[in-house]
């Protein structure tokens, strides 16, 4: 049973984050036990604030921080979700939007938020909104025009001032998302909002559009008491790592000046290059040494973010479906970074990530990752088509991206794996027992192997291609 892999896992900063993209909060609560059983130790939920509209992107257009009220749920359902996750031993992370407010220029000319229409609704449904209130007086606006920066659209992403002080606009006359200032009137309620979320059990924050905020603004909002014992990471999009202009202009300063972690876009670029046709998988042997990955404690690793399938401008960053699975084996097999696994409700229409968190192969990878925490990583062999590395003496990972099988000869002295000991692949059930020097391991075409010392698991999970869909939050046998 997969439960054997999950139950033995120690807690560590590199616990896998389930990105429950656009899930309702009551849905997360209902799945809390199953989320825990499948090995996820943290869940990232979409922005908890006041927003309107059914589209996923509407969650990233705040109207008010003082209440949680959106199609995903309200303060009451958010609190209930937090309590259920806590009882299951799963941490709650919240996606935070503090760079801008909703673009409501088509509705009204002013920059008063949440605006008179919403205030009228607060008054008409006073009992309901009193239960949803996090802080403040809902009888007045939270923000006015003095809390916003100049109403100009970014037109040069190599201009740091523009990127961090002007608006994100969609073109065609779009006036863009009103960009918030860093004055007290804007920052103080943002702090109150984050403190309220901490009091509701939130222990981590993803900072949306962190690239568009100055380090001073981030530091003013995310004060020491707010980030104490919390995992905080920012979205700072770059095209690559060392040698990339945006990396030097935005990600390097962000890491140096905030002390927070960040999405490892350099690593994602390394994955895209390595898995591309003609790419060299050997480049993944040590991407950090080449400046193409972030340091272990600052990196949130991923195969895709929510923007990639849902925004046409980012779809070119998606990996081929098989390569995406192999990339998951890599980021969940290695020791560096905090991995994040994406699962949606098919907002993009691709169908690829619907219930991905339940996929038996991905769950088995999560279980392997959990058991390997604290084990060192040593690269054993690499080539244009493959990499093979060990995790301590208990785990062995091999990935082959090409259309033909690859044979790898293992030297038992060099590998330091156990002699005459069964190692079982958690994905296929394949068993190896290294009983001689030059023991040959075959990596089938377009596949990954994640061998675990058999005695470390009650029974190796059996990989099946049909996702298990239980009717109750209980573990599934694979």
Do the two domains 3-372 and 377-456 of this chain adopt the same fold?
no
Compute CA distances 455 → 428, 432, 458, whole Å: 17, 13, 7
The one catalytic residue among 235, 264, 336, 344 = 235
Q: Sort 253 into a burial class: Cβ within 10 Å, 0-12 / 13-18 / 19+.
A: middle
- Cβ neighbours of residue 208 under 8 Å, at least 6 residues apart? 47, 60, 95, 96, 97, 98, 99, 235
pLDDT at position 57, please?
A: 97
- Cβ neighbours of residue 166 under 8 Å, at least 6 residues apart? 149, 150, 152, 153, 154, 179
pLDDT at position 415, please?
A: 75
Handedness of CA 344, 398, 266, 215 (dihedral sign): positive
The ranges assigned to domains in the chain are 3-372, 377-456
- Cβ neighbours of residue 73 under 8 Å, at least 6 residues apart? 24, 25, 26, 48, 81
- Cβ neighbours of residue 1 under 8 Å, at least 6 residues apart? 458, 459, 461, 475, 477, 478
- Token couple for 48: 């908890």
CATH architecture of 3-372: Alpha-Beta Barrel (3.20)
**CATH node for 377-456:** 2.60.40.1180
The one catalytic residue among 15, 69, 182, 208 = 208
> Which residue in the block uniquely carries the two structure tokens 């031993």?
89
| pLDDT per residue as tens, the chain (478 positions) | 333 444 333 344 589 999 999 999 999 999 999 999 999 999 999 999 999 999 999 999 999 999 999 999 999 999 999 999 999 999 999 999 999 999 999 999 999 999 999 999 999 999 999 999 999 999 999 999 999 999 999 999 999 999 999 999 988 889 999 999 999 999 999 999 999 999 999 999 999 999 999 999 999 999 999 999 999 999 999 999 999 999 999 999 999 999 999 999 999 999 999 999 999 999 999 999 999 999 999 999 999 999 999 999 999 999 999 999 999 999 999 999 999 999 999 999 999 999 999 999 999 999 999 999 999 999 999 999 999 999 999 999 999 999 999 999 987 666 788 888 999 999 999 999 998 888 999 999 999 999 999 988 754 444 333 333 333 333 333 2
- Cβ neighbours of residue 119 under 8 Å, at least 6 residues apart? 138, 139, 140, 141
The H or E element spanning position 85 is helix 75-87
- Token couple for 53: 């509209």
* Distance between CA atoms of residues 377 and 334, nearest Å: 7
* Distance between CA atoms of residues 418 and 430, nearest Å: 17
pLDDT at position 14, please?
A: 81
pLDDT at position 477, please?
A: 33
Catalytic residue list contains 376: no
Count the neighbouring beta carbons within 10 Å of the beta carbon of residue 266: 26
pLDDT at position 459, please?
A: 43
DSSP characters over 413-429 = HHH-PPTT-EEEETTT-
Catalytic residue list contains 224: no
């Amino acid at each position: 049973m997969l439960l054997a892999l999950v139950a033995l896992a120690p807690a560590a900063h590199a616990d896998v984050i389930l990105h429950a993209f656009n899930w309702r909060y009551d849905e997360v609560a209902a799945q809390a036990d199953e989320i825990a059983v499948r090995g996820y130790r943290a869940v990232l939920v979409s922005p908890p604030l006041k927003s309107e509209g059914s589209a996923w992107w509407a969650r990233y257009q705040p109207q008010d921080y003082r209440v949680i009220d959106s199609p995903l749920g309200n303060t009451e359902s958010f609190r209930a979700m937090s309590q259920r996750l806590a009882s299951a031993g799963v941490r709650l992370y919240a996606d935070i939007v503090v760079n801008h407010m909703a673009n409501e220029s088509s509705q009204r000319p002013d920059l008063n938020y949440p605006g008179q229409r919403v205030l009228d609704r607060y008054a008409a449904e006073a009992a309901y909104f009193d239960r949803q209130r996090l802080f403040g007086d809902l009888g007045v606006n939270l923000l006015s025009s003095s809390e916003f920066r100049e109403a100009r659209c970014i037109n040069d992403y190599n201009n740091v001032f523009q990127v961090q002080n002007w608006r994100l606009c969609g073109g065609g006359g779009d006036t863009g998302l009103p960009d918030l200032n860093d004055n007290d009137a804007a920052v103080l309620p943002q702090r109150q909002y984050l403190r309220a979320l901490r009091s509701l059990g939130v222990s981590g924050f993803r900072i949306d559009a962190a690239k568009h905020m100055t380090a001073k603004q981030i530091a003013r909002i995310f004060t020491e008491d707010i980030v104490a014992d919390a995992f905080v990471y920012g979205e700072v999009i770059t095209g690559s790592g060392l040698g990339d202009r945006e990396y030097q202009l935005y990600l390097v300063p962000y890491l140096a000046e905030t002390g927070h972690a960040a999405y490892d876009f350099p690593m994602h670029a390394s994955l895209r290059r390595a898995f591309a046709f003609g790419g060299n998988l050997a480049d993944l042997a040590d991407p950090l040494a080449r400046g193409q990955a972030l340091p272990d404690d600052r990196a949130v690793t991923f195969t895709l973010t929510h923007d990639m399938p849902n925004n046409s401008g980012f779809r070119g960053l998606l990996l081929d479906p098989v390569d995406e699975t192999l990339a998951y084996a890599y980021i969940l097999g290695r020791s560096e970074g905090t991995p994040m696994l994406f699962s949606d409700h098919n907002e993009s229409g691709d169908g690829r990530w619907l219930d991905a968190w339940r996929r038996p192969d991905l769950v088995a990878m999560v279980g392997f990752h959990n058991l390997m925490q604290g084990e060192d990583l040593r690269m054993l062999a690499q080539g244009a088509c493959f990499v093979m590395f060990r995790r301590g003496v208990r785990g062995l990972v091999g990935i082959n991206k090409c259309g033909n099988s690859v044979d790898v000869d293992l030297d038992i002295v060099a590998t330091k794996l156990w002699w005459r000991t069964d190692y079982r692949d958690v994905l296929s059930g394949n068993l190896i027992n290294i009983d001689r020097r030059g023991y040959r391991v075959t990596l089938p075409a377009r596949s990954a192997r994640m061998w675990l010392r058999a005695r470390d698991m009650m029974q190796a999970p059996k990989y099946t291609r049909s996702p298990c869909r239980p009717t109750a939050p209980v573990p599934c046998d694979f």
